[in-house]
Structure formats: C-alpha cells, structure tokens
Amino acid sequence: MSVLVSGSIAIDHVKTQKAAKENLLGGSASYAAIASRLFAPTGLVAIVGKDFPEEHMALLKGHDIDVSGIEVSDGDTFRWHGEYMEDMNERETLDVALNVLESWQPKVSDELQQSTSINLLANAHPLNQLAVIEQLGDKPAFTIADTMDLWIQIARDDLSKVLQEVDLLVLNDTEAKLLMETTNLVEAGRKMRDLGPDYIIIKKGEHGAMIFGDGEFFTAPAFPLDEVFDPTGAGDSFIGGFAGYLSSLGKAEFNFDDLKQALAHGTIAASFTCESFSTHALDELEKSTFDKRFADYLSYCQL
C-alpha cells in the first residue's frame, strides 16, 4: 500500500529575518513525499528542468521515494523566492517563475497506478490534479487534494471539478474563508462538504488544524514551538504525514478515528519542517525522535 504524491517540485530561495538560503529543494510534492515516506512507500509524479540540482534528486532517491514519475524536461525548474517577516505568519513572495510547470502534463505509469492506495494531490493547478485523478481511476482507496488561494481565484471551475472527485480537501484558514465567503471557519468547514468532498481539513498554522466529516468534527493544536525557523512547506509536510500514516494502516476504507490519528501524525511531521530550511529537519528525522515528540504532543493536548 503506497502513497502517490503529485504536485510541484521547486527550487526555493528563502529569506527569514535571521538567515537566507538559495537553491533549496522546495515545492508542494517534495515536502509531502518526504513526510509521507516516514510512514509508507511513496512515489512522486512531478516535473523538473534540466537545471534541477543532482543533489536534490539524490536526496529524494536516498529517501527510497520512487522517482520514476519525475519528468526531467527541457527548460528550468519551477522557482519560488520568498521572505518571512518578523512575525513568521507573514510572508511575501518576491519572485515566482513557473518555467517547466507551465506546460506540465502529469503522466502516471501503469506501475505507479497499480501500487497507489492513497492519491495525494499536493498543491498544483486543478487541471494537473484532474489529469492524475483520471489516470488513477477508482484504484486509490482514498484521494486527497490540497489547494491554494491562487486556484480559488483564477481556476475556480477546474477546482470545482477536482472537488467532485476527492474524498478530502485540505486548505488553510485564509483560503477556506475566501472559498466560502465567510469569516467563520467552522461554518466554512461544514458548508465546504457541499462542494463534494466527504471530509474537509482546515489548516490554521500555529493554531493547528480542524477536520469536518458528516456530523463529525475533530481539532488538534499545532505542536508548540518556541522558535519557528522557516515554515515553508509545513502545510505540505502536514498532508504528506497524514497520507503516509493513513497508507500505513493498510486498510481499504478509513473511519473518522483513522483520520483523527492521521491528522495528529501530520501535525508532528509539520512541526519538524518549521525547524529548518527546506526539508532538512525531515531529512534527518529518526523514527525515535518522531515518536518522542508525538508522545509529548499527546501530553500537551490530551486530558
């Protein structure tokens, strides 16, 4: 049982108030896959350019991620350049270049199609997400889509089609308010189910996440961090950890208790991502370190 992660692979330049770093491995699918592989076999479907650093590809392979679905195309890799303010909740995109991502047509090989139990559509254009959904058919046990404000604004109709096909939609608090035109997140979460997905997760950054089902609700706080070094990719790592945990259960169907546990595991994966640039903390993460933090986390939020 494995997770197929599709989405973006990027080369990031990130500046915080304390440090700056160039040519980092970034992108929604990179973070999600590296978090997912903590729990389950994971494959990637994405596109990079000829400029994609060999060390980044080696890193993905070193994590035993199936990279057969990564297309290396003429042109440059998708690039993102951002800066975080003193308040790490505020960030500015300084520059973004889609490059090879612009004309990407995701291709899922027969082999990847057969091995996929969880289809994780990390943040990408809804048309890319639809292309993966169509190729996988009804093979996955569970399909998850992440999205972002940009697609809500410029590709709403395509996003609506994605929502008809997925079991779970994940988005952050600002995006949920934008999509549902309300300032109340609980109302937004409940009503979003009418758009198609059985389950909705609203990510709230430092305030944790909420999941809404049919008359079901669960919320868990973020892991408390004294210092956030670089939150880039935290949301992607969250849903990657979520998908990986779910896949590790080896089930053909999931109940709400499974999703609650997955949410807690994703939360802890995301907490590590915040503690370093890029995927560095996840790269180094030992199972015992994860387990220790997970136990601490339970003591922090369970009565």
Q: How far is CA 106 from CA 28, 44, 147, 155, 156, in A?
A: 15, 11, 17, 18, 20
Mask for 258-277, x = binds a second copy (CB under 8 A): --xx--x-------------
The distance of closest approach from Cβ of residue 148 to a second copy in the complex, given in angstroms and rounded to an integer, is 21
For a second copy, the closer CB: 104 or 242 = 242
The distance of closest approach from Cβ of residue 245 to a second copy in the complex, given in angstroms and rounded to an integer, is 13
Identified binder of a second copy from the candidate list 54, 74, 87, 95, rule CB under 8 A: 87
Residue 299 CB-density burial (10 A; 0-12 exposed, 13-18 middle, 19+ buried): exposed
With binding defined as CB under 8 A, does residue 95 bind a second copy? no
Identified binder of a second copy from the candidate list 58, 154, 295, 298, rule CB under 8 A: 298
Give, as one character, the DSSP assignment of residue 73.
E
Q: Give residues with Cβ within 8 angstroms of 119, minimum separation 6.
A: 4, 132, 133, 136, 140, 142, 143, 144
Mask for 223-252, x = binds a second copy (CB under 8 A): -xxxxx------------------------
CB 58 within 8 A of CB 35: no
Total of residues contacting a second copy (CB under 8 A): 33
The distance of closest approach from Cβ of residue 183 to a second copy in the complex, given in angstroms and rounded to an integer, is 4
Q: Which stretch binds a second copy (CB under 8 A): 86-94, 107-115, 231-239, 267-275?
A: 86-94
For a second copy, the closer CB: 85 or 96 = 85
The backbone torsions φ and ψ at residue 201, rounded to the nearest 5 degrees and listed phi first, read -115, 130
The distance of closest approach from Cβ of residue 125 to a second copy in the complex, given in angstroms and rounded to an integer, is 30
Q: Give residues with Cβ within 8 angstroms of 108, minimum separation 6.
A: 4, 6, 45, 69, 116, 132, 135, 136
Give, as one character, the DSSP assignment of residue 6.
E
Which stretches of 64-207 are DSSP H helices? 110-115, 126-136, 149-154, 156-165, 173-180, 185-192
With binding defined as CB under 8 A, does residue 185 bind a second copy? yes
The type of residue at 33 is: A
Residues 189-228 within binding reach of a second copy (CB under 8 A): 190, 204, 206-208, 210, 217-221, 224-228
Residues in a beta bridge with 71: 47
The distance of closest approach from Cβ of residue 174 to a second copy in the complex, given in angstroms and rounded to an integer, is 12
For a second copy, the closer CB: 164 or 184 = 184
Residue 225 CB-density burial (10 A; 0-12 exposed, 13-18 middle, 19+ buried): middle
Residues that bind a second copy (CB under 8 A): 86-89, 183-187, 190, 204, 206-208, 210, 217-221, 224-228, 260-261, 264, 298, 300-303
